[in-house]
């Protein structure tokens, strides 16, 4: 477990959150939570509002589930790997998520085996085994065609497109068919996993894809290892599968980088039922001002942003979202590239704060009784996989996920 302290809560203006006696406001939560040491000062004390109930929801994430819709939508997910059994968890993973390219993958700071490492850490903690996870199939061209044109799907198979996508010039020396098999095929599995995980969240109220989150991909562009617009795909597929009964989507994007892909899709498809909260480093890629117009609550941070500032800004943003929108579904893009030491994210957030961040978002979903689908997205530091596994372990324990 992370080095942290369990405390109880204050409530303020009807919103669950924390307040130090000294007047500083901390992140929102209910019941108990993890307070990263970096967000506390020596001598700080916390107290509980006696009016706040011990539990907002005794049914846990079961109250977020939409079992009526889940039963009707199952046939729409058969080509993506089927449904989960009673003994399985709504955790989606395939060994084919991981990219191995004759050693060339080591030329990029991306940990192409991160997904396997996360699963391995979860297995060592006794949380999951390979029989408990749901295995996706790759997204077919038919599924991808909900967002991408036939011209795009043909163009992405060109060698130079794949080289640009991966930012690895030496790949020009490899055969095109090899690149398709070793790069595009795993990313199709990620896309299929995201769409499948979104459906499974209707069944249990929550789901986690141990991959996905290709938030730089849009309907007509691939970038930054994001080949397919899996977030937009999940939104469109779930709307179609539920005949529009799941219509209003909230994307909470806490990857260190702006999620310009689905944001461009929001503008392109004129999607007025998509609400976006994005906390991102404005000093890093992609710096997409045109896409930023699509963000409803933009939370800019800069290189070196640490725990207290990050968590406080997230708190304020979630409070604003709670006032603005009543979503049917939450997609949570939970990038781990906010961690200190990640040279691509360049923030200074501790592992403890990342664990707490994820708990805040899941608590938000539980409080609002909205199903949530979590995607792993970015994360390039050596501690990313372990920290993600620690966070998922905390979510299982805190919310008794089943």
Catalytic residues: 216
Question: Tokens 């700071």 label which residue?
Answer: 109
Whole-number Å distance between alpha carbons of 218 and 271: 14
Strand-pairing partners, residue 246, are: none
Q: Which two tokens stand for residue 217?
A: 């991909």
Whole-number Å distance between alpha carbons of 294 and 180: 32
Strand-pairing partners, residue 10, are: 17
All residues at 6 or more sequence positions from 244 whose CB lies less than 8 Å from its CB, including other chains:
none
Say how far residue 173 (Cα) sits from the centre of its chain: 34
Which residue stretches of 26-146 are H helix? 67-73, 114-124, 141-144
Total count of residues recorded for the chain: 402
Say how far residue 333 (Cα) sits from the centre of its chain: 2
Q: Which two tokens stand for residue 90?
A: 């709504």
Which residue stretches of 325-400 are H helix? 351-368, 384-399
Nearest CA-CA partner of 266 in 258, 276, 277: 276
């Amino acid at each position: 477990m992370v080095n942290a302290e369990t405390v109880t809560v204050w409530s303020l203006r009807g919103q669950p959150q924390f307040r130090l006696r000294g007047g500083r406001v901390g992140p929102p939560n209910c019941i108990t939570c993890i307070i990263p040491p970096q967000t506390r000062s020596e001598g700080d004390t916390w107290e509980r509002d006696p009016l706040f109930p011990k539990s907002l929801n005794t049914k846990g994430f079961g109250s977020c589930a939409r079992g009526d819709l889940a039963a009707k939508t199952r046939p729409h997910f058969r080509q993506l790997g089927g449904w989960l059994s009673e003994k399985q968890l709504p955790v989606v993973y395939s060994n084919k998520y991981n990219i191995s390219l004759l050693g060339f993958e080591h030329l990029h700071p991306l940990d192409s085996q991160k997904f396997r490492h996360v699963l391995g850490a979860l297995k060592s903690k006794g949380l999951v085994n390979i029989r408990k996870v749901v295995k996706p199939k790759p997204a077919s061209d038919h599924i991808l065609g909900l967002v991408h044109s036939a011209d795009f799907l043909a163009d992405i198979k060109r060698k130079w497109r794949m080289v640009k996508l991966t930012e690895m010039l030496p790949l020009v020396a490899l055969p095109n068919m090899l690149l398709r098999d070793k790069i595009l095929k795993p990313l199709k599995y990620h896309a299929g996993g995201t769409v499948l995980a979104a459906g499974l969240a209707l069944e249990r109220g929550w789901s986690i894809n141990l991959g996905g989150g290709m938030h730089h991909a849009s309907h007509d562009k691939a970038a930054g290892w994001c080949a397919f617009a899996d977030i937009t795909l999940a939104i469109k597929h779930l709307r179609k599968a539920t005949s529009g009964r799941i219509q209003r989507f909230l994307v909470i994007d806490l990857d260190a980088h702006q999620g310009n892909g689905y944001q461009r899709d929001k503008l392109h498809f004129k999607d007025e039922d998509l609400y976006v909260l994005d906390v991102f480093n404005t000093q890093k890629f992609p710096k997409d001002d045109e896409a930023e117009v699509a963000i409803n609550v933009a939370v800019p941070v800069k290189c070196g942003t640490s725990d207290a500032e990050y968590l406080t800004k997230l708190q304020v943003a979630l409070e604003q979202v709670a006032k603005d929108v009543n979503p049917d579904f939450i997609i949570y893009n939970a990038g781990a590239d906010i961690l200190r030491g990640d040279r691509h994210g360049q923030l200074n957030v501790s592992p403890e704060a990342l664990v707490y961040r994820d708990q805040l978002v899941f608590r938000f979903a539980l409080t609002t009784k909205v199903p949530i689908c979590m995607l792993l997205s970015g994360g390039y530091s050596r501690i990313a996989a372990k920290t993600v596994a620690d966070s998922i372990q905390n979510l299982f324990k805190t919310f008794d996920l089943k």
